[in-house]
Structure 1
């Protein structure tokens, strides 16, 4: 089981021959693991194949129904989170961009602020932030 966990993070098309053998043994012993992997792969395919918001919305709804039918409690929490934040998730499919750059800038700004803890001259602090990060 411990040698098989890494193959669960990869696309089955990218498995090596040994990983395919391990997967067949694993899925014989734990058939629910194969169902769970199929659900994960379907969610991955939605992100890699859908080009429009409407198509992604339909496929996410179908995936949500499949999760409900599968009966995995751990997937129910993921599906509920996807359902609750579906409008923000679907914004990704407009131009396929994320907020990673904003998060990176926020982390850099927090690090800079931590280095200069207790700054008395706020105007100078903001000037330095603008010079460094602008």
Structure 2
């Protein structure tokens, strides 16, 4: 039985506490984090961030903050996972959009030097369609 399935019923305040702790450890030891471990944490954080369709900031923002910290070293890894949440005709979870913005801010030098968004391979029409729906509050 995986650790994820063992604790599915853990109340969200405790999940948020664990995610905040993870974020702190990652922030202080990012240089020691390997790509495979980072990949597992990214998958878990995205799952936690989008588990509930309701807006639960304490929990979901803690998961997003974990992604932002990992994104400081493994930006492409985080971007691929987040952009996977952009599906045709479906407005992304609000926390996905917030985390996307926080990643942009945290990696400002990267964006300025490269002039492009890593892993942003979905079509401009898909992005525009999703943004139009988000503007009108559709799901």
Q: Normalising by structure 1, what TM-score?
A: 0.31
Greater relative CO, 1 or 2 (CA 8 Å, sep 6+):
2
Is the helix fraction higher in 1 or 2? 1
Q: Normalising by structure 2, what TM-score?
A: 0.31
Please tell me whether Structure 1 or Structure 2 has the larger radius of gyration of its CA atoms.
Answer: 1
